[in-house]
Chains A and B, each alone.
Chain A
């Protein structure tokens, strides 16, 4: 089962901390991260890429949906 981390409304670096925790827990597969700001979108994407995950960003009315996979 793929994990979803809801970081909406949280200020950086919390989304990055939570996303990294989730990625380390998952190891591989797909992790979905929800964020509500452009800053969190950029920071989580950068952290995920640094950890070797690929990032797909979807812009929704509720914020950004980041699909991280490895």
Chain B
């Protein structure tokens, strides 16, 4: 019961901060969007040159640092990895392909729904469908293998990289790109964004909040625990938007959104399936990275690489819609995800689950 109240509180605070971040200057329905913010950071570093979406979003630094600090205090910080990093990197790239087709990560999908953007109504069943397919692979024994303990510096490197990004943001050297127009130019003050990120990072680390896990556990175990968290995000963000007049229901002219329902569905299906195969939604991957999990860091690096690919290759969707090449990227991503899932089941030799049934010698 205490656990349930805590995850509801974590979700509620996340939903509230998302509304406040928009009031403070973030793009509408984008108080938090892990995919969008990582994409903006990718652009800020010059790894893509889409001028409208370049900014070193402090929310991301806050999330990672918050997770790091609270994991350290809670004695849960542990440098580990080695569970299929290359596949996780690829899953990150594919996850971003889906997210930049829908224009948002699952967290933003919830926030878009809470803002009255009915285009997210097409994306939600897609996300659930993608997760459902993923659970079939899980039930058949899909696994990325065991992780192992690593030298602690592997874990500490992540907060240091994050601090480096923060220094780049605060010193704003000429080689860092900051959008002067478009979503990348719309941002809450740095201190507010960083603080909001820190708070959500702390709460998400403690509560294990995950938008994919919420639906996956419902399908697999009929376990509502994580679901209460995302339900709280939605309810509080909806209430906040209604109170502040930010609830604008409809399909057309929604902020940073397009009306192509099919591709909203398929884009989010890609995100859902990729998130199951990688073991967490973009938010959860960031939090795990902060806890010292270098496997999750590889997924985050994949997300960043995916953002660069999507924008550099002209694949990312925009409010004008999904480009023909972008549609292909979603189809290819779906095919690759099925190959990764099915191929994993077919080739369970080295990491056979059978080893788990009897106590295996410690590998860490």
Contacts and interface: CB of A to CB of B under 8 A. Distances in A.
Interaction A to B: yes
B359 A50 contact: no
Nearest to B139: A17
B191 to A, nearest CB: 31
Nearest to B76: A38
A37 interface: yes
A14 B147 CA distance: 12
Contact of A11 (B3, B221, B223, B279): B279
Given A9-B364, A11-B83, A50 B223 contact: yes
Nearest to B362: A62
Interface residues of A, number: 27
B138 interface: yes
A5 B356 contact: yes
Interface residues of B, number: 34
Contacts of A10: 143, 146-147, 356
B223 A46 contact: yes
A28 interface: no
Given A8-B146, A46-B225, A34 B359 contact: yes
B112 interface: no
Nearest to B357: A5
Interface in A10-40: 10-14, 16-18, 20, 22, 34, 36-39
A28 to B, nearest CB: 18
A7 to B, nearest CB: 6
B1 to A, nearest CB: 12
A37 B143 contact: no
Interface string B216-231: 1100110101000000
B358 interface: yes
A18 B356 contact: yes
Contact of A38 (B74, B83, B145): B74
B358 A4 contact: yes
Contacts of B363: 8-9
Contacts of A4: 358-359
Interface in B64-84: 74, 76, 78, 80, 83
B213 interface: yes
24 contacts: A3-B357, A4-B358, A5-B357, A6-B355, A8-B146, A8-B362, A8-B363, A9-B80, A9-B145, A9-B147, A9-B363, A10-B356, A11-B83, A11-B279, A12-B213, A13-B220, A14-B143, A18-B353, A18-B356, A39-B208, A46-B3, A47-B223, A50-B221, A62-B364
